[in-house]
Structure 1
């Protein structure tokens, strides 16, 4: 439930609703709730308007596995993720030489904190984060060029925290917030 907005009176988005529906379907498939219980809870999720209504529908479900890790690695060439891709809790990106572009602006981010570990040799890297994301780059070590990132003023919208760590050799990392 930590992937849902923090404010219980806040109106939910379609992404919040989709996440809740997916959690209910997984709980039913794993035998945690009956068919009738899933129908009732789905009705709550599909007709609910606020976070508190989603919380009531998801109460007593097992916690999601927060340890999901994915690795994307290439020796050379391009690594690119954009559109509505599902961002794992931990994403490891490794490239000896080549370009990396991760666009999280329309991605499905189900975790309140996402760790992106970069292991890049040469080449440019660009990461676009959601408009309301909080970015932490303290554990990123750059070699030849500095990081290009301007911290945004904090907004009270409760966006995800994106922690970027790892090492970069002879490339430059540019991080920007989505405009929309």
Structure 2
């Protein structure tokens, strides 16, 4: 029987492959992988087509610890981050009655993927992402209004992926791409 397209396992993206190569390099630098083993694992990562093949190529590596979560919280008032601030890999933002304004356009982003978990009661949230960022907010639950986001038409590649999850009860989230 011929497999239909939806029956096939999802293919790897370039972000998946780059993340695996970065993980191999870090394991090699920390002394967890010998030089000969690095070459073999790297070859398997670069030729992998599915997530299963990639997982098998990374099996010799030690288990990866999850990134720590940085939390910004306020019961009321405003949470604001602008300028050249360092964005952690995982950021949790909690506010019961305030507004949130996160500007990542000039921030220092060291990771290919940034996870932002929003826990907001009321108020609005505005997140400005870099011009070339990819935004994923499928994991965000909204109780009152939809998320306002207009993806860039001609996006350059190589920017970070910003994944927004969590819950926004009675507020509004506006996501925009920086103009420069």
Cα contact 2:131–2:155 (8 A) shared by 1:
no
Q: CA deviation at 1:68?
A: 3.4
Matched with 1:169 is: 169
TM, length-normalised to structure 2? 0.63
Paired position in structure 1 for 2:129: 129
CA offsets, 1:58-109, max 9 Å, x none?
A: xxxxxxx871320001100000000000000000000001100000000000
CA distance in 1: counterparts of 2:154 and 2:118, whole angstroms = 25
Structure 2 residue 111 is matched with structure 1 residue 108: no
Compute the displacement of 1:156 (Å): 3.9
Computing the radius of gyration from Cα coordinates, the structure with the larger value is 2
**Unaligned residue ranges in structure 1 (runs of 5+):** 1-5, 7-26, 33-64
Question: Partners in 1 of 2:169 and 2:154 — Cα distance?
Answer: 30
User: CA offsets per residue over residues 33-56 of structure 1, 9 Å max, x none?
Assistant: xxxxxxxxxxxxxxxxxxxxxxxx
2:91 aligns with 91
Is the 8 Å Cα contact of residues 129 and 176 (structure 1) preserved in structure 2? Answer: yes
Aligned-CA RMSD value: 2.3
1:167, distance to aligned residue in structure 2 (A): 0.3
* Residue number in structure 2 paired with 1:70: 70
Residues 138 and 165 in structure 1, CA contact (< 8 A), matched pair in contact too: yes
Residue matched to 1:80: 80
Give, in whole Å, the separation in 2 of the partners of 1:154 and 1:71. Answer: 33
**1:94-146: CA deviation from partner (whole Å, max 9, x where unpaired):** 00011000000000000000000000000010000000000000000111111
Following the alignment from structure 1 to structure 2, what is the Cα–Cα distance between the partners of residues 176 and 76? 24
The verdict on how the C-alpha distance between 1:67 and 1:154 changes in structure 2, with shifts beyond 3 A counting, is farther
In 1: Cα distance, 2:124 partner to 2:81 partner:
15
Q: Distance in 1 between matches of 2:71 and 2:154?
A: 30
Give me the whole-angstrom Cα distance separating, in 2, the residues matched to 1:143 and 1:154. 31
Quote the Cα distance in structure 2 between the aligned partners of 1:156 and 1:120: 31
Count of aligned residue pairs for this structure pair: 122
Are 1:133 and 1:160, in contact at CA under 8 Å, matched by a contact in 2? yes
Partner residue in 1 for 2:178:
178
